[in-house]
Structure 1
Amino acid sequence: MQTIDKAAIVTGASRGIGRTIALRLAQDGFAIAVNYVGNQASAESLVLEVVAGGGRAIAVRGDVAEPADMEHLFARTRATFGRIDVVVNSAGIMPCLTIAGGDLEQFDRVLRTNLRGAFIVLSLAAHQVERGGRIIALSTSAIAKSFPGYGPYIASKAGVEGLVHVLANELRGHEISVNGVAPGPVATELFLAGKSAEQIDQLARLSPLERLGTPEDIAAVVSFLAGPDGAWINSQVLRANGGFA
């Protein structure tokens, strides 16, 4: 096994923000475990892109809400790279569901992936991340807006933020920081799906900077938290949103 200076796990890394985070951390010198649940071709293309840039990466399938899958992800990462320094939980789903609609099946689906999944990943990270490492969970700035149709999604991400603060306290003495990143509207497939051009334009203008965020904007914040300049940031949720909220 080749000696690795630092390694990171990124869940939900086959597309969107997660993919860009994985690429940025690879550029920062991390060996990357690319977690995906359905899009194997995209995950493998990301691995090839990292390797072509001189980095190291593996693709590992796994559902964040399944403990056995995540245990395999962490074990495979450690077996391949010998260490885990950063864990970024980016996996998530964002269907629009009204509370009044009362769709418990879909509500449970959102919480299963976004909150149960975060709990499992953060729990394993707490035991696996090297001393001095970083745990980072993706939340959302939509929490502050209470948009109709986002109740289950906002509820799940509010729960994630609670987990971030509690885990940071639970890891006292381990020199491991735990933080969240809460993007505002970001131009990804997940965000743009089902929205009209008019809706997208309206959302873009909510920020004083009057544009949608880019995956690169969010990846830069994760890079900061994962890097040496983020060492003194702990138990925080950085709202990367251009002033959206």
Structure 2
Amino acid sequence: MVRHPRLGHRRPHRPARHRRLHRETRCGRGRLARLLVRGVTLTGKTALVTGASTGIGKAIARALAVAGARVVVNHPHTPDSAARAVDEIRAAGGDAIEIAADVRDRDEYAALVAELLRVYGRWDILVNNAAVALTKPFHEVTGEEFDLSYAVNVKGVFHGLQLAWEHLADNGRIITISSSTTALMLPGYALYDSTKGAVEQFTRILSKDFGPRGITINTVSPGATETETYRTGKSAEFLASLEQLSAFDRLGRPDDIAAVVAFLASDAAGWVTAQNIRVNGGTV
């Protein structure tokens, strides 16, 4: 038996053989993406993924492209990483371009959408992924940090949703990335989780506005996910404790999140709206 790192109770110990078998299901990035989106068809659709040059956003852009969508990789003026993301998609046979825009700036965001429509002629899928994850004791948060968090995480989504109202095609799809931490009440997460709580409410309430046009709007809330940014500043011991919170004794991977987003972006998810789907391996 091993002690659960968060709740304090003991949980059954998994034999090493079982853990090994689970981890041996890993496969190459391209093959994994194809397996995860098998049966999801987005041919003829155009998708915009904000904050898509690295991490979860990059995996989402890749999964949508594998499923057949034409993808706009948005980035906040980080052209090198965005170019690499586009190159990976094209190398796998997908169609993608990168467009720089700061989602905090309404004019830049509007110019991004205008360029998307100029190149592809239609807009079907919006994935609100761009975010900053500032975590620290609440009494230490500065006014500047508060403003930055709300400007990117809330105002950026607000801009995207308003522009989607104007330009997204009927029967389109909107997916906003939140976080499973909103359900955990973790110390240091008050600012970050308050921004994510705001966009979760956007999703629930705006489903009634977008619904008559056949547009679905949902939230996906990842748990601890293995990205370079997420690992930064965390000890190996702390990361191991996070793995034990999952039912599968591992951190999530960006492709785990991307597969769910690809499904929600598809016609198969036409009866799913106003939902917050936690993709966290059973953590919460």
Select the structure of larger CA radius of gyration. 2
Task: After the TM superposition, list the runs of 4 or more consecutive aligned residues in structure 1 that deviate by more than 6 angstroms.
Answer: none
Distance, in Å, in 1 between the alignment partners of 2:211 and 2:269 is 17
SS in 2 for 1:182: strand
Residue 142 of structure 1 and its aligned partner are, at CA, apart by 0.3
For the pair 1:11 / 2:74, whether they are aligned, the reply is no
**Distance in 1 (alpha carbons) for counterparts of 2:126 and 2:73:** 11
Which residue in 2 is equivalent to 1:182? 221
Q: Does 1:236 align with 2:272?
A: no
Which segments of 5 or more consecutive residues in structure 2 lack a partner in the other structure? 1-42
Within 2, Cα distance between the matches of 1:197 and 1:214?
Answer: 17
What's 1:196 paired with?
235
**1:195-214 alignment runs, 5 A limit:** 195-214=234-253
Identity of aligned residues (%): 39
- C-alpha separation in 2, matches of 1:124 and 1:43: 22
- Give distance in 2, aligned partners of 1:145 and 1:172: 30
**Pick from 67, 74, 78: which aligns with 2:106?**
67
Q: Does 1:27 align with 2:62?
A: no
Partner of 2:148: 109
SS, match of residue 212 in structure 2: coil
- Per-residue deviation at 1:36? 0.2
* Stretch of structure 1 that moved more, 163-172 or 60-69: 163-172
> CA–CA distance in 2 between the matches of 1:95 and 1:234?
29
| Equivalent residue for 2:265, pick from 199, 208, 226 | 226
Counterparts of 1:11 and 1:184 in 2: how far apart (Å)? Answer: 19
The Cα of 1:38 is off from its aligned counterpart by 3.2
Counterparts of 2:162 and 2:236 in 1: how far apart (Å)? 40
Question: How far has the Cα of 1:53 moved from its partner?
Answer: 2.4
Distance across 2 between alignment mates of 1:48 and 1:190: 21
Task: Map residues 27-106 of structure 1 onto 2, 5 A cutoff.
Answer: 27-106=66-145
Q: Would you say the 8 A contact 1:94–1:190 is kept in 2?
A: no
Query: d(CA) in 1 for partners of 2:67 and 2:247?
Result: 30
CA contact (8 A) 1:97 1:103 kept: no
For residues 23-69 of structure 1, give each alpha carbon's deviation from its aligned partner in whole angstroms, at most 9, with x where no partner exists.
00000100011100132111112222222222221110011111011
* The one of 144, 165, 188 aligned to 2:183: 144
CA distance in 2, matches of 1:48, 1:119: 30
What is the distance in 1 between the residues matched to 2:49 and 2:141? 33
**TM-score, normalised relative to structure 2:** 0.83
Between the aligned partners of 2:248 and 2:90, the Cα distance in structure 1 is: 35
**2:159 aligned residue:** 120
Take 1:96 and 1:193, find their aligned partners in 2: how far apart are those partners? 13
Report the AA paired with residue 51 of structure 1: R
Q: Which amino acid aligns with 2:128?
A: N
The structural deviation recorded for 1:82 is 0.6
Q: What letter is aligned with 1:241?
A: N
How many residues align? The count is: 242
Q: TM-score, normalised to structure 1's length?
A: 0.95
Q: Which moved more, 1:15-24 or 1:106-115?
A: 106-115
Q: 2:29 matched to which residue of 1?
A: none
CA contact (8 A) 1:12 1:90 kept: yes
Instruction: Supply the distance in 2 between the matched residues of 1:156 and 1:190 (Cα, whole angstroms).
Output: 19
Q: State the AA in 1 paired with 2:265.
A: A
CA distance in 1, matches of 2:117, 2:51: 18
Aligned to 1:213, the other structure's residue is in SS state: coil
